[in-house]
Structure 1
């Protein structure tokens, strides 16, 4: 991959996953060479937090978010608002989650997922950090619970790896939230999803890989990594009818507007 003349941000990846154990320094170096100056690695199980914190301490420009993934809520100890607020005091913890609802793979745990989502919403409200949402086959309940929280107390939020329907996209945007574009948006058969993104304001779009998952073409079917943010950015620029440099600048500015703690970070580890 050639070096990019502009800065990109991978707003959602999983650098602590075993897929990267054998070559994490090389993965990070390839990201830098591709123009990915900053990354947010997501801790989905709090027992893995020491490893995540070790990674962010060792690398400038890498931050983290922490929460309980909806597909793991029955396997992990329940987390409280106080737990998340306490964790958020770490200088490089910049988001709450990922949390959300997944009725595709784990429909039996709907009530527990919903309770966990509400805890994470409250933590986002208390800390001022953005909520990071995973949504799959749960559009109606997701929109309702997010709106319920917003009516109680405003908070900021990104719909991570957005691949839901037009209705949830519209509801999220109306609440002032952001939609994150992953490699799914670059898949050849994702025309309907690209059409949804095209109706959103450019100033509400983020980029991510969700690596090691969902590699965009030409790497589809193989392990994803933060460097491949550049491939999704190229497609995103086409969707919005702007140059790649303009799209990179816009999505980077959007990241800074949403992840204010990362934007204000003074450097170092």
Structure 2
């Protein structure tokens, strides 16, 4: 049971603690997260050259995990990740996911072919490592649905569609493949009715919550720097979609996180 002074525990499944927005404040940011009940968070890799810094943050802070991968918007500016490289980095006990990878045709459509090549490598790394794939998808729903469906048919892997803000068709494809949808602060924006409808139609057992900090702060912090503590605000805003209290929703999404991010769950149990 929780009390007014002990908030329910919840997980920020996707944040970027290595970004310069948090420089000099990281300890305070993580403390505020814990005070808000966000006792676990995953700091996501976007460029492999930043991985040592991201890994060091996770090693220094209990409850902080990390992923390994190259963001689709970065593939044209970074060396192409190799399967062997990703698998070696993924062997760390606090590395819990592969990515974020995916497709972004909104800002970086000129690198679409490279993005698809990188995505295929990340998918295979997820498959071989047993760690879930973390997907970024923007303005690429048709290709994303096709690639994920074909790849999953060639060999299963776990996956979360991070910061889901695409259409209902891609959401249904992802759910049919057994994947998860993660809600960011966008889902709490007043005008995001259509997006909330997509989430409401999904089983609550397949829902995660995230900040994508330092971006996309939910109300009442919209327009300001986001941080992991604000996971609670997004979760409170969308819990009623499934008729749940915040406490029950926090418990459910934490269980969902453990089911997908099994290494984090095992690490927690062993700690």
Q: Report the TM-score range of the alignment, normalised by the length of the smaller protein.
A: over 0.9
List alignment gaps of at least 5 residues for structure 1. none
Aligned residue for 1:154, secondary structure, equals coil
Aligned length, in residue pairs = 268
Counterpart check, 1:35 vs 2:71: no
Matches within 5 A, 1:171-250: 171-250=173-252
Aligned residue for 1:264, secondary structure, equals helix
Match of 1:261 in 2: 263
Aligned residue for 2:98, secondary structure, equals strand
RMSD value, Cα: 1.2
In structure 2, relative to structure 1, the CA distance for the partners of 1:266 and 1:189 (3 Å cut) is closer
Return the offset for 1:188: 0.6
Match of 2:79 in 1: 77
Return the offset for 1:236: 1.8
Counterpart check, 1:161 vs 2:163: yes
Q: 1:170 aligns with which of 151, 159, 172?
A: 172
Match of 2:24 in 1: 22
Q: Are the aligned partners of 1:61 and 1:267 in contact in 2 as well (CA < 8 Å)?
A: no
Match of 1:48 in 2: 50
In structure 2, relative to structure 1, the CA distance for the partners of 1:55 and 1:189 (3 Å cut) is same
Aligned residue for 2:123, secondary structure, equals helix
Matches within 5 A, 1:43-192: 43-192=45-194
Aligned residue for 1:40, secondary structure, equals strand
List alignment gaps of at least 5 residues for structure 2. none
TM-score, structure 2 normalization: 0.97
Return the offset for 1:65: 0.4
CA distance in 2, matches of 1:266, 1:71: 32
Moved over 3 A (4+): 266-269
Return the offset for 1:166: 0.2
Return the offset for 1:266: 4.9
For residues 227-246 of structure 1, the C-alpha deviation after alignment (integer angstroms, 9 at most, x for no partner) is 00000010121211111111
Return the offset for 1:22: 2.0
CA distance in 1, matches of 2:153, 2:58: 34
TM-score, structure 1 normalization: 0.98
